[in-house]
Amino acid sequence: MRHSLTVFGIFPLVLAFLIAGCADQESATKSAATPPVPRPTIVFMTDFGTANDAVAICHAVMVGIAPRSRIMDITHQVTPFSIEEGARFLAAVSPYYPPGTVFVGVVDPGVGTSRKAVIVKTKKGQLFVVPDNGLITPVVDRDGLHSAREITNPDWMIGEKISSTFHGRDIFSPAGAHLAAGWDYTLAGPEVQQLVRLAIKTPTATDKGIEGNIIGLDDPFGSLITNIPGDDFKKLGYNLGDKVTVLLNKKPFIARYAKTFMDVPVGQPLLYVDSRGRISLAINQGNFAQLNKVAVPGAVFIPQKGAAASKAK
């Protein structure tokens, strides 16, 4: 009798374990079938630098409004007041983020003036919270403009007291966070019919060669970035290994056309197509800009192969 009671006592426990196991399996199946809701992403860029508290304050404002959001930083070392450089960084980074991403870009030498603060939606479905000063021009040229809104609704700002010098905190950061929290951007303010355009310089090709511009430095390495597309350069007739005489601000420099840095000896210059498809100049394990005292902006001319650079220009 005692043996029978033990069996009957164990059976309910076994049954309970089996039921619990089935429930766990069902729960796991449901979890696999229903992926977690992704966290909204805010991608942030400024010329504020990192020697002060401005970036940290903007982060705090965004997290306070949209605590589930994750904030990714492009850079806060945009050359101060350089709208052109900030526009180049936004255009370079944004293709790697999906539709629905919110970008907050603050390079704003006109802060406190009549320039508009805007939300721009591209045809790719990304949202950009930026000053209306041309910062968004390359992105819109590439991805297309869906629509734009001026930020005038106080509910989208930090409060009633808006600083005349820190719209990054008071307007751009809260607007970006509200977007990340799911707010409808059309409620931010009236539609903007015409955005300010940045005058983007483009290279000029002739039968003598290509004339372009030095548009940036690949810091901290000091490599020169030009606006000359690699495909256009290849039409000049050069082969890998050729020496190319380049005019930088009308001063000749000789560099070997190479695929990568170690294709030339350490300390030697090279001309190459960079990771974004543009012609660049570098020194293998050196700083081209510092050594040759070349700064941004500047002019660059590359002659057709076989033409003397000084005569061609």
Q: What is the tens place of the pLDDT at every residue in 49-66?
A: 999 999 999 999 999 999
Position 307 scores a pLDDT of: 78
Q: What is the mean pLDDT of residues 199-209?
A: 93
pLDDT band at 23 (very low <50, low <70, confident <90, very high): low
pLDDT band at 11 (very low <50, low <70, confident <90, very high): low
What percentage of the chain reaches a pLDDT higher than 70?
86
Q: Is the pLDDT assigned to residue 268 strictly greater than 50?
A: yes
Write out the H or E segment, with its range, that includes residue 14. Answer: helix 2-33
pLDDT tens figures, 275-288: 999 999 999 999 99
What percentage of the chain reaches a pLDDT higher than 90?
82
Q: Is the pLDDT assigned to residue 29 strictly greater than 60?
A: no
Q: Is the pLDDT assigned to residue 14 strictly greater than 70?
A: no
95 or 6, higher pLDDT: 95
Cis peptide before 297 (omega within 30 of 0): yes
Position 166 scores a pLDDT of: 97
Position 43 scores a pLDDT of: 98
Q: CB under 8 Å to 208, separation ≥6 — which residues?
A: 303, 304, 307, 312, 313
Own/partner pairs, 28-33, CB within 8 angstroms, 24+ separation:
none
27: its two tokens = 């729960």
Own/partner pairs, 28-35, CB within 8 angstroms, 24+ separation:
none
Q: What is the mean pLDDT of residues 181-187?
A: 97
Q: Is the pLDDT assigned to residue 146 strictly greater than 50?
A: yes
Q: Is the pLDDT assigned to residue 232 strictly greater than 90?
A: yes
Instruction: Tell me 125's DSSP state.
Output: S
Position 161 scores a pLDDT of: 83
3-state secondary structure of 302: strand
Q: CB under 8 Å to 77, separation ≥6 — which residues?
A: 47, 49, 50
pTM, full prediction? 0.83
pLDDT band at 247 (very low <50, low <70, confident <90, very high): very high
Angle among Cα 76, 44, 177 to the nearest 5 degrees reads 140
Q: For each of the domains in the chain, give its residue range(s) and CATH number, in order of start.
A: 41-187 (3.40.50.10790), 204-312 (2.40.30.90)
Q: Is the pLDDT assigned to residue 301 strictly greater than 50?
A: yes
Q: Is the pLDDT assigned to residue 1 strictly greater than 50?
A: no
Cα of first residue to Cα of last residue in the chain, in angstroms, is: 110
Q: CB under 8 Å to 230, separation ≥6 — which residues?
A: 273, 274, 277, 278, 279
Q: Is the pLDDT assigned to residue 312 strictly greater than 50?
A: no
Position 160 scores a pLDDT of: 76
The residue type at 46: T
